[in-house]
Structure 1
Amino acid sequence: MNKTPDIRAFRPEKLFKPRNFIKPALSQKQYLEIGAGKGMHAMQFAEANPDKELIAVERTKNKFDVFAQRAKELKLDNLTPVHADALPYVVHAFPAKSLDGVFLLYPNPEPKSAAQRWLNMPFFEFLLSRMKDGASVVLASNIESYIDEAEQQARELWQLPVERKVIPKTSSRTHFEVKYLQRGELCQELVITKPEGYQTRFDY
């Protein structure tokens, strides 16, 4: 980035390793999904992209248990379900410039706590540092104000190029997406790309 973002610096040293943490063996084509839910998108992605590795993190135990069982039945060698809080997991699992892409599909919009939305968090700078140049974050939501704010933050705070897309009514990446589209709601996504030479305070 051209200047330090006007946001307090993230403190990765404050986060301990998640319980039962196993450092992953990373691939040449490594992707991350945060908030994988019951794994619908993760399993679709792994099946459609056998040459790419996906680590899919879910914090809620009952959702993770369903996901892990389904993934086990499908025997997808390129998919790793992880039960953990995403922030400490990312801090301890990924070196700088190791990710080819990140999925944030229908995250909690945090209506009462704007500071907890992904692009408003100091952690987002650390997440960017873990991505390769040219890698993208895909952020999807059915809440237009959330997408509006995230697009503005991407451009103005993080100085990143953004492409905004309407999600087709036939899309079915997550259970939320299916439900929202069946209701006739407008679902949109941002593709936020890390440019060549983009710098953060965590490029080490």
Structure 2
Amino acid sequence: MNIFDRFPYIVVEGPIGSGKSTLAKILADRFGVNFISEKAEKNPFLPKFYEDMKRYALSTQLFFLFQRADQIQKISQIDMFKESTIADFFLEKDPIFAKNNLDEEEFNLYHQIFSHLQLKAPKPDLIIYIQTSIETLEKRIKDRSIDFETDISTEYLEAISESYSQFFHSYDRSPVLILNNENLNILKDKNAIDLLISRIMNIKSNREFFNPQLL
């Protein structure tokens, strides 16, 4: 048995720079399952958004919404009994960013469109929510050297991280493993993934915490 025998549809989530996409891709390759990525780099408004958030917030958010609607449709067409899947996003993250980025009128418009789409995302069998300190997020964003991300402010990272924490504090639709990856370096420590896989296999309740001390 592997983690996808227990949890056929896994979602990895976390703030910008937490390593969610990297972790999801590693697990997909390790177990040979479908990998559905949000592909944030495909959003043409994102670089402009980080330069001028107020001006480009709505266009950025709506592009992501329609992009995720297409991706959710792809996930819905997968037979989870035959093909396991891991994604580096889930639909519920979209309103998290919308509430942070849009003013009241823009959010009302966004919410109307969101409701009109009537999206029905499959419920994840497991969510791995990655928690990372702001200092580490900033370091990892700097290290990966994506030009437009250099404009991301500490205040914005703090707001997004706090919104994630609040969301997952009350989220109960799927089992959640809250992973503190401050000391879990999946790129440099070959034991890190094995340690995480072992922890996933031993999940026994709907909400669990994993705070490994690897350096």
Taking structure 1 as the reference length, what is the TM-score of the superposition?
Answer: 0.36
Q: More relative contact order in 1 or in 2 (CA 8 Å, sep 6+)?
A: 2
Report the structure, 1 or 2, having the larger strand content.
Answer: 1
Taking structure 2 as the reference length, what is the TM-score of the superposition?
Answer: 0.35
Report the structure, 1 or 2, having the larger helix content.
Answer: 2
